[in-house]
Structure 1
Amino acid sequence: MTTTSSGGGPDRTTADREIVISRAIGAPRELVFEAFTQVRHLSRWWGPDGFTTTTRSFEFRAGGAWSFVMHGPDGTDYQEWITWTEIVPPERIALVHGESREDPNAFESVLTFEPAGEETRIVMRTVFPSKELRDEAVDKYHAIEGGRQTLRHLAAYVAELTGNETARNETTPREAEG
């Protein structure tokens, strides 16, 4: 994933292959983290606007995998595969995401869950194998907006779990770099 230079900042060798999206969510990080650990939660919020998710298999552990299909609003099915490479509850999840376990174009993501008072700031940092694959994800698949929508769905779902009507309706600032 993104490495750190000797100066403590991000290694800019990945900057042209990277997308970073974050959002503050009005719930404790343990609950936000849990929304990623159980398939019953993921199936309720995962994906951009208009998408639904059908899970084929799910094993949340380092080395485990989530095999699923995302159903697009136009009827297109997208075969997806995530392998969890690191899990540090409730702080961090690292994964490899592609169309299958052997996908040569799979990308790496690290999700961090940072406490921020009564909220949790989730940061999704994704690094693609090449600048071209990153640009294709942004231009063809609208990866930045899709990531924003997915985190918005997560925030709304967690608000339902907590009964926090304010969090559900607020428009929390989102940021995307890339």
Structure 2
Amino acid sequence: MSTAIPPINPDCEIVTTRTTNTSQALAFKAWADPDHLKNWWGPVGFTNTFHEFDFRPGGKWRFTMHGPEKGNYQNECEFTVIEEPSVIIWKHISQPLFDVIATFEKVSDGETKVIFRQVFATEKECNKIRPYVEDKNEENMDKLEQELAKMS
């Protein structure tokens, strides 16, 4: 089974792309295994407490992101599509509302292109957080690469 991934709509999406020096399977595992995901998810200085991580379509992911200075940010998501090793899709069902489409494209045996898309219902909703999120998503991908280096 292969999910049809919709084309990118730049007005309603925040897209972060990174080509990693790792296999497709390992890149996927960094997102699918909570023991790895908790180490890199979020911007620099943030840590996570995972309360639930049921990695299957219909399964929930509930976690708290702890800010580096103050603040705890509750998140609740529901996985909708999982196709190992190429696609993970979930709905962020706590505010702000959006879908995530994460794809893992094999470039070569030792390289994978990771595309992280946050898809909003409207341009207005997307633009509310775009100024804050674009740089933070790059930090997130930097942390992903650090975790992948440890996993290799």
On the 8 A contact 1:2/1:127 being kept in 2, the answer is no
CA RMSD of aligned residues (A): 1.6
Stretches of structure 1 lacking an aligned partner (at least 5 in a row):
4-9, 163-178
Q: Distance in 2 between matches of 1:15 and 1:151?
A: 19
Give the structure with higher Rg (CA). 1
Partner of 2:36: 41
Partner of 1:115: 106
Shift of 1:2: 6.6
**Does the alignment pair 1:91 with 2:86?**
yes
Deviation readout 1:117-170 (Å, 9 max, x if unpaired): 22111001221122122111113xx111111111111111111111xxxxxxxx
**Does the alignment pair 1:154 with 2:144?**
yes
Q: Distance in 1 between matches of 2:10 and 2:21?
A: 29
Partner of 1:130: 122
Shift of 1:33: 0.4
Q: Distance in 2 between matches of 1:94 and 1:34?
A: 14
When normalised by structure 2's length, the TM-score is 0.90
Task: Specify the code of the residue in structure 2 equivalent to 1:95.
Answer: W
Q: Distance in 1 between matches of 2:5 and 2:57?
A: 19
Partner of 1:21: 16
When normalised by structure 1's length, the TM-score is 0.78
Q: Secondary structure at the match of 1:44?
A: helix
Partner of 1:82: 77
Q: Distance in 1 between matches of 2:5 and 2:25?
A: 24
Shift of 1:109: 1.4
Shift of 1:98: 3.6
Q: Which runs of 4+ in 1 moved over 2 A?
A: none
Q: Distance in 2 between matches of 1:27 and 1:15?
A: 28
Q: Distance in 2 between matches of 1:151 and 1:82?
A: 20
Segment drifting more, 38-47 vs 83-92: 38-47
Partner of 1:168: none
Shift of 1:15: 3.0
Q: Distance in 2 between matches of 1:25 and 1:129?
A: 29
Deviation readout 1:26-57 (Å, 9 max, x if unpaired): 11010110111121111111110110000111
Q: Distance in 1 between matches of 2:148 and 2:44?
A: 17
Partner residue of 2:50 out of 39, 47, 55: 55
Q: Secondary structure at the match of 2:11?
A: helix
User: Number of matched residues?
Assistant: 148
